[in-house]
Amino acid sequence: MSVIVRDDGFHAEDFVGQRIVEIASDTKPDALPDVTGAELVVLAFPAFSDGRGFTLARHLRAAGYKGRLRAKGHLIADQYAMARRSGFDEVEISDDLAARQPADQWLFRANWQANDYRTRLRA
């Protein structure tokens, strides 16, 4: 099983659509598949130290993808703000990781819009 993390905490899987596109972390940005019409795009994170998914998310958003974008795999709570700033709507983690890093650790990073360097520079 897995847990979906959003800005307001942990959720059960609630996607009921039909069109899902899954993208591997080793996909080159210039070789991203056509996601036109996709209701959910899932980018794999095979290890918390593999940040290629953040780049791929930025490329998808820059190309105009407006649908639901999910990071799936081995992300940690400290990476949640980066995931959101990169364009992800949510993160999917394993039940084991959710037990080790409970919702309060993820919620601590849910104010991602107010805590980036650009906001601090504007102040």
pLDDT of residue 90: 97
Asked whether 57 and 86 are in contact (CB, 8 A), the reply is yes
Query: How confident is the model over 23-67, as pLDDT tens digits?
Result: 999 999 999 999 999 999 999 999 988 989 999 999 999 999 999
Taking the whole predicted model, whether its pTM rises above 0.75 is answered as yes
Per DSSP bridges, beta strands 9-11 and 2-6 are antiparallel
pLDDT of residue 30: 95
pLDDT of residue 113: 61
Domain coordinates in residue numbering, the chain: 2-6+19-25+34-122
Query: How confident is the model over 67-103, as pLDDT tens digits?
Result: 999 999 999 999 999 999 999 999 999 999 999 999 9
Asked whether 15 and 103 are in contact (CB, 8 A), the reply is no
Distance CA 115, CA 61 (A): 21
β-bridge mates for residue 41, sequence order: 21, 69
pLDDT of residue 122: 67
Closest to 25 measured CA to CA, from 65, 68, 59 = 59
Percent with pLDDT over 70 in the chain: 90
Distance CA 53, CA 118 (A): 22
Q: Which CATH class is domain 2-6+19-25+34-122?
A: alpha beta
Residue 110 pLDDT more than 90? Answer: no
